[in-house]
């Protein structure tokens, strides 16, 4: 069974890890600023690798009249995302975007003002990343925005250590917040779970921004970066 299909892992991820991601509020603020600058009239959006839908429902807060499509490889994650849709206005799709034919799960005429992804694309190899960015470009409407809130590689081990210390500190603070204080050794064991780590196929934000430019995106930038956490993307002119 795949890692993301293990219920206990899924629930631990969606109910906990989002809450101790460093600078989560700042990341959402930058997302809103970029959208407002380049395309403030979001009608249709795609939350790609949506997990429990945390980013898509943030977009709904910004643009309550928009229509969202939530796509994830995990049926359990889609179940959690669907539970939040009290108005029944979204579309939910269980699909692996790493498959070359994943676009067939979408309406052939589907085009989006925004495609957003959060901590998902780093699980596929680089060739798939490049192909996926090309698919995303084709799916965007003119002036459509792609934003990827992502885990990227560090250029040196020392900088990777800085990121690990930051994230471990966030985990420790969260455990204290929920009244479940663990030792530093216990937290490190959770963080360095080898099953999780082996799923990470990290690439530098510089290389990924270059791929976006080669694909045809404009206004490409890393809009925010804190060690291995990066928000980057571009606009389809």
On whether residue 104 sits in a domain, the answer given is: no
pTM value is 0.88
- The Cα 167–Cα 18 span in angstroms is 11
- Rounded alpha-carbon distances, angstroms, from residue 70 to 58, 67, 78: 13, 10, 8
DSSP letter for each residue of 77-111: HHHHHHHT-TT---EEEE--TTSTTGGGGS-TT--
Torsion of CA 74, 51, 189, 168, to 10 degrees: 170
Strand partners, 235: 145, 218
For residue 90, the enclosing domain spans 3-97+109-236
Can you tell me the distance from the alpha carbon of 132 to that of 149, in angstroms, rounded to the nearest whole number?
15
Residues in the chain predicted with pLDDT less than 70, given as ranges, are 1-20, 177-178, 187, 190-192, 194-196
102 assigned to some structural domain:
no
CATH of the domain at 194: 3.40.50.150
d(CA 227, CA 73) in angstroms, rounded, equals 27
8 Å CB contact between 153 and 204: yes
Residue 172 maps to a domain = yes
Tokens of 154: 């560090």
Would residue 92 count as lying in a domain?
yes
Is position 175 within any domain? yes
Q: Report the number of distinct structural domains present in the chain.
A: 1
DSSP 149-184: EEE---SSHHHHHHHHHHHHHHHHHHHHHTT----H
First to last CA, the chain: 41
Q: Which of 165, 133, 168, 137 is nearest to 150 (CA)?
A: 133
- Asked if residue 34 belongs to a domain, the reply is yes
In a domain, 113, yes or no: yes
Write down the pLDDT at residue 12. Answer: 45
Alpha carbon distance 6, 112 (integer Å)? 31
* CA–CA separation, 144 and 217 (whole Å): 10
What is the per-residue pLDDT for 167? Answer: 86
Residue 70 three-state SS: strand
228 Cβ neighbours under 8 A, 6+ residues apart? 151, 152, 153, 154, 160, 163, 202
- 204 located within any domain: yes
Please, what's the largest Cα pairwise distance for the chain? 52
């Amino acid at each position: 069974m795949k890692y993301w299909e293990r219920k206990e892992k899924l629930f631990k991820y969606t109910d906990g890890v989002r809450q101790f991601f460093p600078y989560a509020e700042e990341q959402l603020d930058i997302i809103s600023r970029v959208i407002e600058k380049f395309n403030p009239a979001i009608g249709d959006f795609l939350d790609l690798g949506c997990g429990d839908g945390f980013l898509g429902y943030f977009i709904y807060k910004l643009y309550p009249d928009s229509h969202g499509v939530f796509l994830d490889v995990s049926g359990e994650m889609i179940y959690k995302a669907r539970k939040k849709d009290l108005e029944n206005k979204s579309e939910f799709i269980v699909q692996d975007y790493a498959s070359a034919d994943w676009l067939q799960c979408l309406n052939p005429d589907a085009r989006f003002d925004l495609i957003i992804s959060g901590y998902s694309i780093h699980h596929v190899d680089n060739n798939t990343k490049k192909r996926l960015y090309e698919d995303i470009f084709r799916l965007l409407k003119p002036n459509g925005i792609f934003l990827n809130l992502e885990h990227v590689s560090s250029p040196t081990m020392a900088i990777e250590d800085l990121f690990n210390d930051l994230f471990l500190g966030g985990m420790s603070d969260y455990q204290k917040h929920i009244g479940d204080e663990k030792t530093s050794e216990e937290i490190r064991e959770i963080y360095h779970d080898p099953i999780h780590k082996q799923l990470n196929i990290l690439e530098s934000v510089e290389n990924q921004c270059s791929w976006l430019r080669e694909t045809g995106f404009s206004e490409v930038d890393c809009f925010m970066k804190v060690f291995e956490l990066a928000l980057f993307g571009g606009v389809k002119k």
